[in-house]
Amino acid sequence: MTTSHPSGPRARPQSNVPVRPVFISVIGTGDTATDRDRMFAEEVGRLLAERGAIVVCGGLNGVMEAACKGAKSAGGLTVGLLPGTEPADANPWVDIPIPTGLGYARNSIVVKAGQAVIAIGGAFGTLSEIGHAIADGKTVVGIETWELARKGNPDSHIVRASGPADAVEKALQAVKNGTSRSGS
């Protein structure tokens, strides 16, 4: 014999386990970023925020600043892992400035903090971040960034994107599919 609850079937208790946000590292040129790099980065930041992702970057200028500005324009959250020791060195769109005092060594932390990486343009610091990300098994999606080769043969570790929307989609899809190792 089954009994029924007077108010109807009992609802299953909901889990109290919080859903963790997605962290995407955005890397690229600092001082020498082109207007095109900045435009792409701002759009990437905006699109990531619209999809609920948190933008992680090196916290300074150029691509980092533009990505943060874009994220903030869509109400997103931004984290800047700074090379120096002063939180005030962060660009004005960084919500959470984290001074590391590590100089360029902080590049490895920037990519470890994200579940996937979007590279836009880039100088040698960006190349080091790409190397760290690939070594860690992270998906690296590139917009007009470095191209890699081994013994003269193209290396396909950087997933090419046609623009900001394509880059964001590919990065988030890699996280969703579990094809990019989690850093957070």
| Predicted pLDDT at 17 | 81
| Predicted pLDDT at 180 | 81
| Predicted pLDDT at 6 | 45
Neighbours of 100 (CB within 10 A): 16
- Inter-CA distances, 113 with 6, 55, 131, 136, Å: 50, 10, 15, 11
DSSP structure string for the chain: -----TTSSPPPPPP-PPPPPPEEEEEE-STT--HHHHHHHHHHHHHHHHTTPEEEE-SSSTHHHHHHHHHHHTT--EEEEESSS-GGGS-TT-SEEEE-S-GGGHHHHHHHHSSEEEEES--HHHHHHHHHHHHTT--EEEES---EEETTEEE--EEE-SSHHHHHHHHHHHHHHT-S----
> Would strands 78-82 and 54-57 be described as parallel, antiparallel, or unpaired?
parallel
CATH of 23-177, one of 3.10.150.10, 3.40.50.450, 1.10.357.10, 3.40.630.10: 3.40.50.450
| Predicted pLDDT at 146 | 96
Handedness of CA 55, 56, 59, 62 (dihedral sign): negative
Instruction: Show pLDDT as tens, one digit a residue, over the chain (184 residues).
Output: 444 444 444 555 567 888 889 999 999 999 999 999 999 999 999 999 999 999 999 999 999 999 999 999 999 999 999 999 999 999 999 999 999 999 999 999 999 999 999 999 999 999 999 999 999 999 999 999 999 999 999 999 999 999 999 999 999 999 999 888 665 4
Is residue 117 within 8 A of residue 25, CB to CB? The reply is yes
| Predicted pLDDT at 137 | 95
Domains of the chain by residue range: 23-177
Neighbours of 60 (CB within 10 A): 21
